[in-house]
Amino acid sequence: MQFTLKAQDGKARLGVIETPRGSIRTPAFMPVGTAATVKAMYPDQVRELGADIILGNTYHLMLRPSAERVAALGGLQQFMQWDGPILTDSGGFQVMSLSKLRKITEQGVSFQSHIDGQSYMLTPERSVEIQTLLGANIRMVLDECTPFPATHEEARVSMELSMRWAERSKKAFLQFDAGQGDALFGIVQGSTYPDLREISARRLIDMGFDGYAIGGLAVGEGQKMMCDVLDVTTPFLPNDRPRYLMGVGTPDDLVESVARGVDMFDCVMPTRAGRHGTAYTRYGKVNIRNARHAADPRPLDESVDCPASQNYSRAYFHHLHRCGEYLGAMLLSWHNLAYYQTLMGDMRAAIEKGQFNDFYAQFKEDQARGDIPPLA
Amino acid sequence: MQFTLKAQDGKARLGVIETPRGSIRTPAFMPVGTAATVKAMYPDQVRELGADIILGNTYHLMLRPSAERVAALGGLQQFMQWDGPILTDSGGFQVMSLSKLRKITEQGVSFQSHIDGQSYMLTPERSVEIQTLLGANIRMVLDECTPFPATHEEARVSMELSMRWAERSKKAFLQFDAGQGDALFGIVQGSTYPDLREISARRLIDMGFDGYAIGGLAVGEGQKMMCDVLDVTTPFLPNDRPRYLMGVGTPDDLVESVARGVDMFDCVMPTRAGRHGTAYTRYGKVNIRNARHAADPRPLDESVDCPASQNYSRAYFHHLHRCGEYLGAMLLSWHNLAYYQTLMGDMRAAIEKGQFNDFYAQFKEDQARGDIPPLA
């Protein structure tokens, strides 16, 4: 894996990550393909919207259909017919949020599946092994996502465990990867404490990773605190490695984070919101189930180059979502992912031209304007 | 509307229906777009599979979003972005099967919506008016779908009510259509009684319709009795009008009915089965949720020219359906509709070449063979 920083505008960075499966233009938004599918989307639709990479969830895939099954079927790319690189998380975050009877020890996390109660043990070594079996091109170290809020002492103890796990993850990666050219990212922890974030970043850099994620954010701390943590963390990250803010976020979160030097994002928001009737548009969020759209012949957002955004009326979206039709989730997920990829493309273009400040101002103005007025 | 009979092979007929919105090659299978969407399908996918026409359900659409709303939004084709002709049923069948507190009188059917309990009255005149507002290119007379089983007397009384309603429907159609070139079909009733079927057919022909449907079948009578009714009904139908067997059916039903001179079909089976994990293939039905498919890298049915049929493994279908993923329903509905349209195309080609008997024998042999053997 090779990262090239092509331009910088303020702190905002334009780059490209080369992987054996293809290039990733950064800043990049990675749609989430939880259980080997970006929900309600065909893989070629995701690709055509401009997504260079998607994310798979180790927790979901280790339970169903299992890493060994995916490996026997040729890897995750072949299994789900995704023609590009894939990043997998370590599984740790979802073990903590979804599984039953979970218990963290120095060794790893033991838990029971939320599906059938079967017992599992996820260690740093097993997580990397699973991600290798899945064929992920970018793999993540197992860490503990420190809960928010945490005292300084809790955050320190948790971060230090994550650092020991990062070391074991790297060792396992070197053993499993065997020169395939795939990548392992470290994850900076330390909650909201600048001193802990610095210590965590320095220790990871000492170990040496292909990229650095900023973890433990988007867990309820709010956007301001998230930005504050980014401000005190990114200065300690090397310029020549990609930076990945995990699980983020809203369009505004993405813009604020790119402005602070982040290169990669993933979030279920565009697809989850799409299933529940919320559209992200140039002029802010739209609840398509609202009665004001029931007779509105206008499209969702003409500025987004996607059939879902341009060809169907708001009245049709409203009808489909009121009726609980599959196509409602399909079209709105499609539109939302299109909007997200358009936003990323616009940011990349602005950085390239050295006009990120103008982009930023226009974005804020558009979002503040709010949705188009109702028809009379 | 113009129907041209292009070839006949035994009783099987090859034809084409010309409508102001485009041509319909017959025998034709019409995918069902219940609530202004063929479930889990994009309209352009349906079109690309070879469907020349789809069906909309008057009952669903009159409740949500309402015929007046659809009309104000430019008609059903514009509303759902379907670039072709649409047939609507009269609403009568679904009022009887889905609504609450329904009551049939000479005037029509009064009922309460199954969604919000609101009261409605559906008369022959209102049904045709709704279908006109929806912009349906082929409209159906309101009839009573005689329940099965029925005594001869029950069937006669019910059929005679349907004939009086057919007359009122035609009168309303002439008033509403105003030379738009759209069509109205009559519906033959009479349950399983040949004498009543003959009387019904003759009375409808006296009134004069653009096409003739055979109603009151596929309601539990079984395939043999259905075929018997077709055998005693089609001889009374004019050669120069299309014949439509409503709500049918399995692939085998379609082949048996085409062999008996039927030209048009509609059924929710391919999409409903697709949502529930059942695939229709050249070699019969496949339950993709069965454990035998869990590790099977082979495609569903290579003989069907559709990405869903050829590009994804059975293991992936199995995984998606076990996980309840949208994409499972999307891919399997797509495949099933592709299989159905392939079947119709194969029948049309066989009739054109005068080889329908060979096609019939091969179809029966393939279906009897059963699914490909499991992997060792």
Mutation target among B326, B333, B334 for the A interface, most CBs of A within 10 A: B326
Non-local CB neighbours of B368 within 8 Å, separated by 6+ positions: B284
Residue A160 binned pLDDT confidence (cut-offs 50, 70, 90): very high
**pLDDT of amino acid A180:** 79
* Pick among A39, A316, A318 to test the B interface (most B CBs inside 10 A): A316
The proportion of chain A whose per-residue pLDDT surpasses 70, expressed as a percent, equals 99
DSSP B212: E
Chain B residue with minimum CA distance to A115 = B323
Residue A177 scores a pLDDT above 80:
no
The radius of gyration of chain B from alpha carbons, rounded to an integer in Å, stands at: 20
Is a pLDDT exceeding 80 seen at residue A349?
A: yes
Instruction: Give the pLDDT of residue A181.
Output: 86
Say if the Cβ atoms of A41 and B311 lie within 8 Å. Answer: no
DSSP reduced 3-state for B329? helix
What is the three-class DSSP state of B264? strand
Span(s) in chain A for CATH 3.20.20.105: 2-266
Residue B178: the pLDDT is 64
Q: Do B316 and A79 touch (CB under 8 A)?
A: yes
Q: CA-to-CA distance for A374 and A372, rounded, in angstroms?
A: 7
Which of B38, B47, B83, B316 has the highest number of chain A CBs within 10 A, making it the mutation to test binding with A?
Answer: B316
For residue A287, what pLDDT is reported? Answer: 98
CATH of the structural domain B2-266, one choice from 3.20.20.105, 3.40.50.300, 3.40.920.10, 2.30.110.10: 3.20.20.105
- pLDDT at position B207, please? 98
pLDDT of residue A304: 98
Is the minimum CB–CB distance between A310 and chain B shorter than 8 Å? no
Residue A133 CA to residue B12 CA, distance in Å, equals 54
Contact list, A64 vs chain B (CB under 8 Å) = 319, 322-323
Using H for helix, E for strand and C for coil, what is the string for chain A?
Answer: CEEEEEEEECCEEEEEEEECCEEEEECEEEEECCCCCCCCCCHHHHHHCCCCCEEECHHHHHHCCCHHHHHHCCCHHHHHCCCCCEEECCCHHHHHHHCEEEEECCCCEEEECCCCCCEEEECHHHHHHHHHHHCCCEEECCCCCCCCCCCHHHHHHHHHHHHHHHHHHHHHHHHHHCCCCCEEEEEECCCCCHHHHHHHHHHHHHHCCCEEEECCCCCCCCHHHHHHHHHHHHHHCCCCCCEEECCCCCHHHHHHHHCCCCCEEEECHHHHHHHCCEEEECCEEEECCCHHHCCCCCCCCCCCCCHHHHCCCHHHHHHHHHCCCHHHHHHHHHHHHHHHHHHHHHHHHHHHCCCHHHHHHHHHHHHHHCCCCCCC
What is the spatial order of strands in the sheet that A12-19 belongs to? A2-9, A12-19, A22-26
Answer yes or no: is pLDDT of A178 > 70. Answer: no
Interface contact A238, partner B, CB < 8 A = no
Say which of B73, B295, B329 has its CB closest to residue A72: B295
Q: Are A152 and A196 in contact (CB under 8 A)?
A: yes
Task: Give the pLDDT score at B177.
Answer: 73
Q: Quote the pTM value.
A: 0.98
Residue A208 has pLDDT above 90, yes or no: yes
Helices (H) and strands (E) in chain B, counts: 15, 16
Question: What are A155's two structure tokens?
Answer: 């955050």
Q: Note whether A311 contacts B: Cβ–Cβ < 8 A.
A: yes
Chain A window 46-105: which residues touch B at a Cβ cutoff of 8 Å?
64-65, 69, 72-74, 79-81
Amino acid in the structure at residue A178: A
Say which of B37, B69, B297 has its CB closest to residue A73.
B297
pLDDT in tens, chain B (376 residues): 999 999 999 999 999 999 999 999 999 999 999 999 999 999 999 999 999 999 999 999 999 999 999 999 999 999 999 999 999 999 999 998 998 889 999 999 999 999 999 999 999 999 999 999 999 999 999 999 999 999 999 999 999 999 999 999 999 999 987 677 899 999 999 999 999 999 999 999 999 999 999 999 999 999 999 999 999 999 999 999 999 999 999 999 999 999 999 999 999 999 999 999 999 999 999 999 999 999 999 999 999 999 999 999 999 999 999 999 999 999 999 999 999 999 999 999 999 999 999 999 999 999 999 999 999 7
* Peptide bond preceding A43 in cis form (omega within 30 of 0): no
State which residue of chain A sits closest to B310, comparing Cα positions: A81
- Name the pairing type of β-strands A22-26 and A12-19: antiparallel
Does the structure show a pLDDT above 90 at A222? yes
Helix (H) or strand (E) segment spanning residue B335: helix B326-352
Burial class (CB in 10 A: 0-12, 13-18, 19+), B20: exposed
Question: ipTM score here?
Answer: 0.98
Span A20-49, pLDDT tens digits:
999 999 999 999 999 999 999 999 999 999
Contact between chains at B36 and A316 (C-beta distance less than 8 A) = yes
Contacting residues of B for A319, CB less than 8 Å apart = 35-36, 64-65, 79
Tell me if A295 and B73 make a contact (CB, 8 A cut-off): yes
Q: Say how far apart CA B299 and CA A205 lie, in whole Å.
A: 46
Give me the mean pLDDT over the A208-231 stretch. Answer: 97
CA distance linking residue A154 with residue B270, whole number of Å: 56
On whether any CB of chain A is under 8 Å from the CB of B326, the answer is: yes
- What mean pLDDT do residues A322-337 have? 98
Question: With an 8 Å Cβ cutoff, is A115 touching chain B?
Answer: no
Number of CB pairs < 8 Å for A and B?
96
